[in-house]
Amino acid sequence: MENQQSNYKALLMNRLLGGFIAAVCLVGSFNAQAQKHEMGILVGAATFLGDVGDNSDLNSLSYVRPAVGVLYRFNPNPYFGLRFSYTNTEVTGDDSKSDNPHQQSRNLSFKSSISEFSLIGEFNFFRPRRNNKLFHKTPYIFLGISYFKFKPEAEHAGTWYELQPMMTEGVDYSLNEWAMPFGMGYKFNLGEKYLLGFEGGWRYTFTDYLDDASTIYVPKTSGNIQSDFFKDPGGAAVIGGQRANSTNNDFYFVGALTFTYKIKEKINKCPKPLR
């Protein structure tokens, strides 16, 4: 009798343990299926909004430069995505293309390469529909933080010079800065494995020296011909006079097409319950 009770208890414990393991594995499989990963590329263009050049209107289109990058996206649920990306681009501006007489006489110009690392949160407006995997689509908005490196340069007599070491406004500013990317986009599935997106986003930078122009004209330095030229290319400066607007930091805009591959996760099979 005691042996039968012991066998019954052992069988009951084995089944309870087996049921517990199955339940844990089931929950784990749901979590694994919800954690979708994507890898892909970004191809587009960038433009600039700052102190140099007439870039407040559609004239900024003349400053458009290519932008390329790579990205990884993690989707913990259908509505939210977290994106890590690297983007390389260039921005530029030229007072000589402006209709503003003050900018024409100032005659500043620049180009600046940008290498950007970003962490961005995406919010999808629509939940994916399981019965329409091919053409599911949703608009989304995004907000994040970026760390970027830039290098403003300008040309004189056919040669390009780095502007930051010349301290054209007497400021030794950093070439590594932070920015806040924000914008919106639209993405849709291409079958079960691929996702295509279109987006446009501004980068509000925490610097006003993306174009090497922010404050006032400073005195020239005897013996440094190149530095003196880039301090006042127009040749009409008043020392202490306004060279640029220091009340607003610089922006740049990136419009891009994103193409990602959805990585399928392997779900470990659970052991069969003990009998």
pLDDT digits 0-9 by tens, 18-67: 544 444 344 344 444 444 899 999 999 999 999 998 765 545 677 899 99
Answer whether 227's CB lies under 8 Å from 221's CB. Answer: yes
Lowest mean pLDDT among 61-65, 138-142, 198-202, 216-220: 61-65
* Residues 52, 25 share a domain: no
Q: Answer whether residue 275 is part of any domain.
A: no
Task: Name the residue with higher pLDDT: 35 or 137.
Answer: 137
* Residues 225, 179 share a domain: yes
Lowest mean pLDDT among 5-9, 28-32, 116-120, 158-162: 28-32
* Residues 164, 91 share a domain: yes
* Residues 80, 16 share a domain: no
Mean pLDDT of 83-112: 93
By C-alpha distance, which of 17, 55, 28 is closest to 251? 55
* Residues 81, 15 share a domain: no
* Residues 57, 4 share a domain: no
The set of residues, in sequence order, having a beta carbon less than 8 Å from that of 223 and lying 6+ positions away, is none
* Residues 27, 79 share a domain: no
Tell me what percent of the residues of the chain surpass a pLDDT of 90: 63
Instruction: Give me the half-sphere count of Cα atoms (radius 13 Å) on the Cβ side of residue 200.
Output: 2
The pLDDT of residue 268 is 54
Q: Answer whether residue 151 is part of any domain.
A: yes
Q: Answer whether residue 155 is part of any domain.
A: yes
The pLDDT of residue 25 is 45
* Residues 104, 237 share a domain: yes
* Residues 246, 233 share a domain: yes
Tell me what percent of the residues of the chain surpass a pLDDT of 70: 77
> If you average pLDDT over each of 41-45, 54-58, 235-239, 269-273, which comes out highest?
41-45
Biggest CA pair distance of the chain = 110
Asked if pLDDT for residue 224 goes beyond 90, the answer is no
Task: Domain of residue 12: give its range.
Answer: 1-34
Q: Answer whether residue 72 is part of any domain.
A: yes
Q: Answer whether residue 74 is part of any domain.
A: yes
* Residues 232, 121 share a domain: yes
Lowest mean pLDDT among 13-27, 240-254, 258-272: 13-27
The DSSP bridge partners found for residue 156 are 159
The pLDDT of residue 17 is 41
By C-alpha distance, which of 204, 211, 195, 207 is closest to 254? 204
* Residues 5, 55 share a domain: no
Global pTM value: 0.81
Rg value, the chain, Cα: 28
Q: Residue 190 sits in a domain of what CATH number? A: 2.40.160.20
Query: Exposed (0-12), middle (13-18) or buried (19+): which is 21, by Cβ within 10 Å?
Result: middle
